[in-house]
């Protein structure tokens, strides 16, 4: 490959996207998930989250920040935490929050909930990878339940092939499961931390 081609590959990928009615700009780079466009799963998930303007939301595994940025735009009186275990993703999420003039975001490194502060979220959202594995899924679901406020909601999108697997695990951890949207490739699902739950 020619040197000029390598130089072009090293430059930021820049694209615009409309999410939740907002026109947003994103910078990304090769090596991050879906670097040239908002993937269909993230788009489906973003459009299905029910929000109020003052809610506190966690975007778990935020990548370059597509979901979290869109939610932060919709919750100007609230706060969005965005976390990822990839420091490059975190850097781009911070850049994209600033680029879209958002002052209500906290963005930091965390492997699942390892560095998430002890606060209670109204919503937790995550585009869960197809190769998540049983152990990591257990960490995510139990961590989500512990970090949700009573009545808080966990929204996830997964490849459609994991639908029944996610349903079983949601039922085991939360005692409930609701399919919000089923597409050919992706499924968006919801679990609610019930008011009666004793686990904080």
Domains of the chain, each with CATH number or no CATH: 40-192 (3.40.50.150)
Closest CA to 61 of 102, 112, 107, 98: 112
- Residue 183: half-sphere exposure toward Cβ, Cα within 13 Å: 14
Q: How far is CA 19 from the centre of its chain?
A: 14
pLDDT interval class at 133 (50, 70, 90): confident
pTM score over 0.85 = yes
Contact 170, 142 (CB under 8 A): no
pLDDT interval class at 1 (50, 70, 90): low
CA distance 163 to 83: 24
More confident residue, 10 or 95: 95
Average pLDDT over residues 66-92: 97
CA distance 70 to 114: 24
Contact 128, 104 (CB under 8 A): no
């Amino acid at each position: 490959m020619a040197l000029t081609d390598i130089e072009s590959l090293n430059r930021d990928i820049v694209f615009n996207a409309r999410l939740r009615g907002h026109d947003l700009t994103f910078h990304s780079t090769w090596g991050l998930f879906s670097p040239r466009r908002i993937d269909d799963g993230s788009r489906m998930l973003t459009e299905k989250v029910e929000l109020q303007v003052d809610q506190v939301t966690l975007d778990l595994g935020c990548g370059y920040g597509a979901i979290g940025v869109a939610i932060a735009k919709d919750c100007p009186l609230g706060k969005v935490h965005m976390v990822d275990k990839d420091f490059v993703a975190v850097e781009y999420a911070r850049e994209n929050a600033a680029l879209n003039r958002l002052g209500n975001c906290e963005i930091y490194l965390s492997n699942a909930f390892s560095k998430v502060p002890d606060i209670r979220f109204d919503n937790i959202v995550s585009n869960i990878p197809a190769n998540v594995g049983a152990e990591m899924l257990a960490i995510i679901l139990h961590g989500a339940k512990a970090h949700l406020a009573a009545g808080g909601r966990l929204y996830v999108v997964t490849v459609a092939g994991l639908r029944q697997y996610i349903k079983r695990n949601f039922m085991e951890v939360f005692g409930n499961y609701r399919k919000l949207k089923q597409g050919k490739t992706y499924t968006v699902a919801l679990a609610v931390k019930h008011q009666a739950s004793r686990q904080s």
